[in-house]
Amino acid sequence: GAVVSQHPSRVICKSGTSVKIECRSLDFQATTMFWYRQFPKQSLMLMATSNEGSKATYEQGVEKDKFLINHASLTLSTLTVTSAHPEDSSFYICSARDLAGGRDTQYFGPGTRLTVL
């Protein structure tokens, strides 16, 4: 299957700082990427849909000014958690939509563990 990478894999930051997470599709182009949040022993919660060259679409209850998304190229989307607080600590996972060959499949990155002190 297609490969999606995330960087960093884990990050620890102080409360009030901003953290940027990168999501890259390594062997395919993705006009659409998705950002999820996952709490321990829970399912994935969709935060936003990232579209190359346009504004992201946020799910209800997700603050767009807190979770800034930029999809500047067909292989890279970034999520910036601004003014992070301990309650933002979570596992953040991205996925990229692969439309090559007539299929429509989502491949997930390995996730980023964010800990806010």
Q: In terms of CB distance, is 16 or 110 closer to another protein?
A: 110
List the beta bridge partners of residue 105.
98
Q: Work out the burial of residue 114: count CB atoms within 10 Å of its CB; fewer than 13 is exposed, 13-18 middle, 19 or more buried.
A: buried
Report angle CA 49, 51, 56 to the nearest 5 degrees.
55
State the minimum distance, in angstroms, from the CB of residue 110 to another protein: 4
Per-residue binding string, another protein, 12-51, x by CB under 8 A, is --------------------x-x-------xxx-x--x--
Q: Near another protein by CB under 8 A, which window of 11-19, 65-73, 82-90, 99-107? A: 99-107
Find the binder of another protein among 108, 114, 116, 117 (CB under 8 A). Answer: 108
Which of residues 93, 96, 114, 116 is near another protein by CB under 8 A?
93
* Edge-first strand listing for the sheet containing 67-73: 4-7, 19-25, 76-81, 67-73
Least Cα distance to 48 among 39, 60, 31, 38 occurs for 60
Footprint on this chain of another protein (rule: CB under 8 A): 1, 4, 6, 32, 34, 42-44, 46, 49, 93, 95, 97, 104-111, 113
